[in-house]
Amino acid sequence: CDCLVAEELLALVRPKVLVVEMAFHYPPPFQFSAQHDAELSAGWLRGYDVHKFNPSTGCSLSYALRRFRPHGFHLLRLTHLDAVFVHQSLSPIVESALGARLPQDEFACYRQSHLWVQMPIEYVREW
């Protein structure tokens, strides 16, 4: 639900950097986001196990980009579990300091990512 929380926060605050957990098992250009349902959440939480693959959580990189771009955010990079977005007002500083050109290409970042820890890389790369 990181994307949903971030979307709600962006209606209230203007951060310069966003770090959001991604569902890396949905490759670009697929857009996916788990949605909250007050009636179903309690049952879902009872069955949740962090050590088991659960493809119905989080959001995809493409979904996050579609939602955060209108707020002026660019993709900077992917970590093992997260995507780092920076506000466009920081672009000159980030580009100069890191030698990176913003926005980063989501497909290139995804191809270079480590993918989600609960999915073997060989399995996902077959997609």
Residue-wise pLDDT tens digits, 5-30: 899 999 999 999 999 988 887 889 99
Query: How far apart are alpha carbons 70 and 76 in whole angstroms?
Result: 16
Coil/strand/helix, residue 30:
coil
pLDDT tens for 73-108 read 999 999 877 899 999 999 999 999 999 899 999 999
The share of the chain scoring above pLDDT 70, in percent, equals: 72
